[in-house]
Structure formats: structure tokens, C-alpha cells
Structure 1
Amino acid sequence: MKNETSITSVLLTSISDDQKTISVLFIFFLLIYLMTVFSNSLIILLVVTCAHLHTPMYFFLGNLAFLDMSYSSVTAPSMLSHLITQHWSISLSECKAQMFFVMYFAGSEPLLLSSMSYDRYVAICHPLHYSQVMSWGTCAQMASLVWSTAFLVCITYIISLKRLTFCGPNLIKNFFCDMPHLLQISCTDPTINVLIIIILGGIFCTAALVTTFYPYVRIFRAVLRIRTSEGKSKAFSTCTSHLTVVFMYYVSVTFIYFVPDSSNFLTLNQVVSVIYTLIIPLLNPLIYSLRSKDLKAALQRALHIHRLHPAPATRR
């Protein structure tokens, strides 16, 4: 039997080896992360404080903003630290912890997007019953189901890692830890883990896909029955932002998890991972803000109130 020594740390893959490029990337990624935190925090603040945004649509948008900010915070600060120190090694326990939160927030997003799809379906196809169907109790239950389901799936994956031994090579081909990369450095047969991922992940993804896209089949049928072009345009405009976010999510996930993990695709995987973990969490609030008159009006009102009632000067 081969003598196997368990590793205690893993080595992440650097985004670049050129010092000038690293400096530029650090500044760029830092600005992106700060803008992500600011824009998503602003949406959460507006949704919480503005009474006319206390609707199911903006309730779920606030959840999405929190998710985007949290997901970016799992990967961006550590990546920025690695860039500035050029120390890409982390402990195995830190890697597992990061992997859990990456999977948790990434897994919560499709369920949250499906909840938003259902909200749009009820609003367009059953407007007279909207307030009864999408009550605050229903919204709270749907949000709780999203977060708890993703947690149970992810904790199952983490528990399944207990049976594995990691003995190297300890190189992970990305700048953050994720389940596929961690399984690749296992010296224990990961077949059972892969089966758990396929079965549980297959059920999870199928449910998310069906509950996200089926409501839009019903929505498109309902919109096509609207006689006026103005009515059709108004109905479609309420779905455009959500469909754009859905499209970006599924395209990114497809590239990250279904593109072959080889040296030929390493750069592509890293680029798409950067887009998914840093760029998309910034684009989501911008997409909704630019398309939502209510959000823009709430922001303008907040800025107007601030100008009328500036913060009092501190006394010396």
C-alpha cells in the first residue's frame, strides 16, 4: 500500500505572474469590489427604507442584492490579499470553508431567480389575485425555502468530504476553492462524492430550471394575447431585467462547470470565474436600477431629502 501523507494546505493558481499586470489587476478588482458592495448595499437600504418599494418584487431584489454582495465577499477579499502578498497558499480548512460559502451563495441564486420568475408570473397572468397570492407570509416562506434548501444541499456536500483524504498534488486550478477542484486533489476514490453531486445536484438544478423558465412560458402566452403594443411592451419591460440576470447566471455557470478543466481552458475558466464572482454581482444591481423607474425615483428622493436636510456639523 502506497504511503500517503495528508496535506494541510492548498496552493491556488495565480491570475498572473507579471508584477505590473498584478498591480493593475489589484486596483481594478478592488474598485470593482468596492462598487459591488456600495451598489448592492444601496439597493438593500432603499428597499428597506422606502415604503413604496415594500413589494414582493423588491423584497426578492433585496435578497438578490444581499446574495451578490455576500458571494463577491467570499472570493474578492482573499483574492485581493493574494494579489498584494503573492502568497497563494491557504489551509485546507480555509479552502473547505470558502468552498461551502461559494456553493451556498451560488446555489441560492437559481432558487431566488425562480422565486422572482414566479412573482412576475403572478403579477402578469393573475394581476387581480396578486396581493392575495404574493402575501408577505408567502414571500417570507419562499425566501426561507431558498436559503434553507441551498444550505441543506451544501452541508450534504461538505459532510461527504469527511470520507476523503487529500494528499496532493495540492494545486487548485483557480483563484478560489470549489468542489470540482477539491475532488481532483483527493487521493481517496471520490466516486461516491461524485454520485452525490450528480444525483442531488441534478434534482436541484432541474427543479431550479423548471421553476425559473416555465413561468415565462406562461408569461409569454399571456403577453401575446394582449392586443395593444403598449400593453405588450409594458409587460415585457417588467421581465427584461430578470431575464438578463438569469441569462448571465446560467451562461457563466455553464462555462465554469462544464468547460473541460485542462491547461488549454485554464485561462478561459479563470476569466469566466472573475466575471461570475466579481463582474456579475456588480452588473445585477445596475441592470435592475437602470430598468426600474421605482428604484431610480427612490434614489432621487433620497438624494433630494439629503440635500434639504444635510447632516449637522460636529461641534469642536
Structure 2
Amino acid sequence: MIPGQNQSWVSEFILLGFSSDPTTNSILFIVFLLIYLSTVLGNGLIIMLVCLDTQLHTPMYFFLCNLSLLDMTFVTTTMPQMLVHLLAYSQSISFAGCCLQMFACGALGITECMIFVVMAYDRYVAICYPLRYTVILNWGLCIKLEAGSWICGFLSSLLNTFFTMSLPYCGPNRVNHFWCEGPSVRSLACMDTHLIEMVDLVLSIFLCVIPISLIVTSYIGIAMAILKIKSTQGRCKAFSTCASHLTVVTLFYAPATYTYLRPNSSYSPEQDKQISLFYSAFTPLLNPVVYSLRNKDIKRAFLKVMDYGRCTSGPGW
């Protein structure tokens, strides 16, 4: 970098995506377009049902509604641009655009990590202290937990994005990824990034290991409470309320933990793209499916809305 120059030499990045073959890209465009539309539709449906059905106005569905909002927003920060790049000749993204995308995706992803912890605490209180559930998890506390999750996500991502995008980028600008993910962009920096990588690792440990530990602790308490239930039917009902949450937590944390906590020596761009695609595209798609298939309240609310729609669309409408 030129002495005294405080800005990067690189004004834009080239996102290489998955393939340079037009036929392959056309097929991928159709597949990812269907995934994106299904994700937005599925998560949007959950948000609509929770808002319309007063019986779903509980802490559990309040947090589920926020999770759906996060998933829907997260895919919108990456998928539309990826779809354009699959068909367009140019696959460039401006330096500012890359910075903004990195910040937005990081903020939403970290917030989702925190939301999973809050949802685990919600299930812990519901099963271990059912008679005091509404007293402990009152709306004031729910809003504070939700706001705290968003604030933690945005501040952490701001710190991470600042460190990464402050590095000098004076050489190659071809990012072997389909969006501006931190490790992929940072690998292009024109300086030793060991210190930044250590800071990123510490931040990743704080944002992955601690939430996972809190979730595991919550479910240990839940398991002990379930074992005390004498009725087999009661045990199955209690377990079913937690199965959906455990499923989506596993789908999200397993690939994310591998990506951000593995040694730098094992970094593989191609493998990273595949893993990143799983938690940035497929997990948001699967979340509403998991919750809707296993949740009787969501099914009931959906049927209620459908029945109302049939009534209002009768003769004379």
C-alpha cells in the first residue's frame, strides 16, 4: 500500500460464484430462484399466521416470528445478487457494496445465534416452570431479549466488518465465493492477517461456543424435567415442543461452527462455498418446513386462515 494512502486500491470485487459455464449457471438460476421464492413464501407465511392468529400471540411464537424474519432477510441479502450474477456477464460488486453485504449477513447471522439461545430459554421455562411461564417470560422481558439479540448481532458484525474491510486490498480482487463472506474476502488482503484472524476466532468462539453451551445447558434442564413426568404421553408432548428447535439449531450451528472455528490451515474455498450455501440458503428454507410440519398450532392457524379465505371468496365477492 502506498505510504500515506488510507484507502484500498481495490474499488470492486469479482464474485466467482459456482461455475463459469452458461448452461450450468442457467440451471443453477432456476434452482436457486425456486429456493429463494420458497424461503420467502414459507417464512412470510409463518409471520403472517403469527400476526393474524391471536392464539399464537405467545413468547414462543413471538420468537419464532423473529426467526422467520431473520431467515427471510438473510436470504434477501445474498440470493438476489447471486441470481443476477448467474445470468449477467459481469459478476462484480463494489467495495462499498461488499462491505454492506458482509455487515448485513454477519449481523443477521449473529442475531440468529442469539435468538436460538432465547428460544432454548423459552422452552426451558415452559417445561420446567409451566405455571410461572407467563410471569417469568412477560412481554417486557421478551422485547428486551429480542432487542438485546439484535444489538449484539449488529455491534459484533460492525466490529468484524470494520477489521476485515480496513485491510489493504491492493492485488487480486477475485473472491472465490458467491457473496462477500469475511474469510473469503480477507484471504485477498495484501498483508499478514494473522492478528485479524485471531480476533475473528475469539469473536467466533464467543458467538458460537457460548450460545451452544447455553443451549445445551437449557436442554439438560429440560431433559431432567421431562424424565420426572410420569405419563408417557406427557413426556412425548413435552419432547415434541423441543424437537423442532433442536432440529433447526443443529442445521444452523453445525455448518456455521465448522466454517468459523476450524483452523486457517484447513481453509478450502470450494468446500466453504458449499457449506456456506447450506446455512445461508437451505437452512432458512427448511426452518418453516420443520416448524410447520411438527407444530399443531401452526397447522391450525393455517387451516383457520384458509377457511376464512374460502368464506370471503364465496358468491357475491
State TM-score, norm by structure 2.
Answer: 0.92
Matched, 1:179 2:166: no
After superposition, what is the alpha-carbon deviation per residue over 1:134-192, rounded to whole angstroms, capped at 9, x for unaligned?
11111101000000011111111233346421112212121110111222111133344
Task: Tell me the residue number matched to 1:242.
Answer: 245
Residue type at the aligned position of 1:172: V
Q: What is the CA–CA distance in structure 1 between the aligned matches of 2:115 and 2:161, rounded to whole Å?
A: 22
Give the 3-state SS of the residue equivalent to 1:304 in structure 2: helix
Q: What is the CA–CA distance in structure 2 between the aligned matches of 1:246 and 1:8, rounded to whole Å?
A: 38
Matched, 1:30 2:36: no
Residue type at the aligned position of 1:126: Y
C-alpha contact (below 8 Å) 1:255/1:269 kept by paired residues: no
> Alpha carbons of 1:179 and 1:151: their partners in 2 closer, same or farther (altered >3 Å)?
same
**Deviation, structure 1 residue 209:** 1.7
Q: What is the CA–CA distance in structure 2 between the aligned matches of 1:196 and 1:289, rounded to whole Å?
A: 39
Residue type at the aligned position of 1:246: V
Equivalent residue in structure 1 for 2:14, among 2, 11, 14? 11
Equivalent residue in structure 2 for 1:195, among 195, 198, 204? 198
**Deviation, structure 1 residue 62:** 0.2
Matched, 1:222 2:263: no
Q: What is the CA–CA distance in structure 2 between the aligned matches of 1:112 and 1:94, rounded to whole Å?
A: 27
Identity of aligned residues (%): 39
**Deviation, structure 1 residue 242:** 0.2
State TM-score, norm by structure 1.
Answer: 0.92
Equivalent residue in structure 1 for 2:80, among 67, 77, 80? 77
Task: Tell me the residue number matched to 1:43.
Answer: 46
Task: Tell me the residue number matched to 1:140.
Answer: 143
Q: What is the CA–CA distance in structure 2 between the aligned matches of 1:260 and 1:88, rounded to whole Å?
A: 29
> Alpha carbons of 1:259 and 1:190: their partners in 2 closer, same or farther (altered >3 Å)?
closer
Q: What is the CA–CA distance in structure 1 between the aligned matches of 2:250 and 2:157, rounded to whole Å?
A: 23
C-alpha contact (below 8 Å) 2:43/2:72 kept by paired residues: yes
Q: What is the CA–CA distance in structure 2 between the aligned matches of 1:262 and 1:274, rounded to whole Å?
A: 21
> Alpha carbons of 1:190 and 1:263: their partners in 2 closer, same or farther (altered >3 Å)?
closer
Matched, 1:283 2:283: no
C-alpha contact (below 8 Å) 2:13/2:173 kept by paired residues: yes
C-alpha contact (below 8 Å) 1:72/1:278 kept by paired residues: yes
C-alpha contact (below 8 Å) 1:112/1:143 kept by paired residues: yes
Task: Tell me the residue number matched to 1:119.
Answer: 122
Task: Tell me the residue number matched to 1:92.
Answer: 95
C-alpha contact (below 8 Å) 1:165/1:186 kept by paired residues: yes
Where do 4+ consecutive residues of structure 1 move more than 4 Å? 1-5, 258-265, 311-314
> Alpha carbons of 1:175 and 1:260: their partners in 2 closer, same or farther (altered >3 Å)?
farther
C-alpha contact (below 8 Å) 1:47/1:59 kept by paired residues: yes
Number of equivalent positions: 314
